[in-house]
Amino acid sequence: MKKTPLLNSSISEIISKLGHNDTIAIGDCGLPIPDGTKRIDLALVKGIPSFKDTLKAILLEQEVQEVIVAEETKKVSPKIYEEIKGEIGNVQITFITHEELKKQLEKCKAVIRTGEQTPYANIILKSGVVF
């Protein structure tokens, strides 16, 4: 049996295949995922799993050097923005428009869909290295 905390095999597989600067995204249940981008759908019902819980679980296993967040998040969903800052610690935050974030999903190795229903509860995680 797996020894690390993350139990979801699809997410674990994607993280194990990430190289330096590869990206994955976590999104609310309304984030449009481009055709051709791997979708890992965790959404069960409204709010489950939450964006924050999903981010926390992924950060247990993925080395992240930078996160990309929509500028709109700070104004429209300040609680989500504060949760992001609280979870990522000293990791660099890069802000882009929500439209640009949606375009960048095409380059992500996967998009993880949560049950979150808070606007702009979306993030792209850029993989770092552990050495």
Q: Indicate the CATH number of 9-127 among 3.10.310.10, 3.40.1650.10, 3.40.50.720, 3.40.50.300.
A: 3.40.1650.10
Q: What is the pTM of this model?
A: 0.96
- 110 annotated to bind ligand: no
- Residue 121, annotated ligand binder? yes
The residue-averaged pLDDT of 6-15 equals: 96
The stretch 25-31 carries a mean pLDDT of 98
Task: Using pLDDT thresholds of 50, 70 and 90, give the confidence band for residue 65.
Answer: very high
| pLDDT of 73 | 98
In the predicted structure, residue 80 carries a pLDDT above the cut 80: yes
3: confidence class by pLDDT, cuts 50, 70, 90:
confident
Establish whether 57 is an annotated binding residue.
Answer: no
CA distances from 38 to 1, 14, 89, 114 (A): 25, 10, 27, 14
Active site members? 20
- Tokens for 108, please give them: 């992500």
User: Which residues have C-beta within 8 Å of that of residue 6, sequence separation ≥ 6?
Assistant: 12, 15, 57, 58, 60, 61
In the chain, what are the domain boundaries?
Answer: 9-127
| Mean pLDDT score, 11-31 | 97
pLDDT value of residue 2: 76
